[in-house]
Amino acid sequence: MKRLVHAVVGCGRVAPNHVDGFSALPDVEVRWACDRDLTTAESLARAHGLPRVTTDVHEVLADPEVDSVSVATGHATHHGLVAAALEAGKHVLVEKPLALSAEDGAALTSLAEHAGRVLSVVSQHRYDRVVTAIRDWIGAGLLGSLVSGVVSLQCGRDDAYYAGSDWRGTYAGEGGSALVNQGYHALDVTHWLTGGLAVVGAAAGHTAPRGGMETEDTLAALLRGPQGALVTYQVTVASSITWRTRVEIIGTGGSVLFDLDHPGTLHVAEGNEELRAAAAELASAEVEQAPPGIGYYGISHRRQIADFAAAVRDGHKMIADDRAGLETLILLQDIYRAARHEVAAPVLSALRS
């Protein structure tokens, strides 16, 4: 097996999940910790025994032995760093979202294709056991035709989370907040499970803004699946609860209710006998240990990273490839666009006065 040399660019909150995932693989060396802040890079390198540290991404990209790079920086920097890495001939695993704008995202997918390099956007929950099982059940018709869905994420981010960051809570740095950051995975997974969602309407709220944030802390959208299923989606970062997702998918033959928090719990699977038997089999599977770090990121960075490393070696199509990341980016941009053009129901509100 060809040995891979990997580098992590951006050594903040999510970086340990990248080091953990690559370190868990045979024949992979995680060589570089790169952060524009030297102390942050040194601290990641020290904690995980990484041999080289730099504040300059060009030093990483100039290392001819580096095969692949994780980009785990703030959203606005993704486009420039991913483009530079692809142009230097590296394979890239970029944290979500692919880029701030769909246009920049599309330019990156073209660049990856042209360069013949793997570009994958982190969508780790697509690899959760509960999610892959439900996708199989939907594909096998166990839920019948999908008619409805209810998706929510409530989480709590405090003043320090926004006030202590130069990119979170700003349109220029984060591109939005509740939807593009915390709400990304619930949207991405539902989009994948339903076969592709389109936007019917949306509204964004600035309900209890923390730490000077200018972006939305709460957002609700109405979405439609390819066969007409209507899905309501809501997210807030202003809850008192640290993190709780709920995804309910309702079909003519069965319904499932699950969450994306570690270990990805299936709460309910109701309907036909075959669905209940499949759910019982899933429930009997062993619970995997979460990696060190923030628990609600889940365990599936490891699985996506294993898929990425295999794709670098054999070129197979990943579950979470750059096209998947671009599709989700387009959907969330459409939701923001709908929220900006939100209209009140003029006829009924006129009757009130």
Ligand X SMILES: NC(=O)c1ccc[n+]([C@@H]2O[C@H](COP(=O)([O-])OP(=O)(O)OC[C@H]3O[C@@H](n4cnc5c(N)ncnc54)[C@H](O)[C@@H]3O)[C@@H](O)[C@H]2O)c1
Q: Where does this chain bind ligand X (CB under 6 A)? A: 9-14, 34-37, 40, 57, 72-75, 77, 81, 95-96, 122, 124, 165, 181, 297
Task: Give the nearest distance from C-beta 175 to ligand X in angstroms.
Answer: 10
Task: Give the nearest distance from C-beta 73 to ligand X in angstroms.
Answer: 4
Task: Give the nearest distance from C-beta 151 to ligand X in angstroms.
Answer: 17
**Tokens 């990304």 sit on residue:** 184
In what side-by-side order are the strands of the sheet with 146-156? 198-205, 218-224, 230-236, 146-156, 238-251, 254-258, 266-271
* Closest residue to ligand X in the complex (CB): 12
Asked if 125 contacts 296 with a C-beta cutoff of 8 angstroms, the reply is no
CA–CA separation, 38 vs 53, rounded Å?
8
**Tokens 């060190």 sit on residue:** 292
CB-nearer residue toward ligand X: 258 or 297: 297
CB-nearer residue toward ligand X: 12 or 141: 12
CA–CA separation, 147 vs 240, rounded Å?
32
CB-nearer residue toward ligand X: 254 or 298: 298
Nearest to 269 by CA among 132, 130, 154, 151: 130
CB-nearer residue toward ligand X: 173 or 201: 173
CB-nearer residue toward ligand X: 35 or 261: 35
Task: Give the nearest distance from C-beta 123 to ligand X in angstroms.
Answer: 8
Q: Identify the sign of the CA torsion 113, 115, 117, 119.
A: negative
CB-nearer residue toward ligand X: 73 or 194: 73
Task: Give the nearest distance from C-beta 153 to ligand X in angstroms.
Answer: 12
Nearest to 16 by CA among 51, 52, 40: 40
Task: Give the nearest distance from C-beta 17 to ligand X in angstroms.
Answer: 7
Q: At what angle do helices 322-340 and 102-115 cross, to 10 degrees?
A: 170
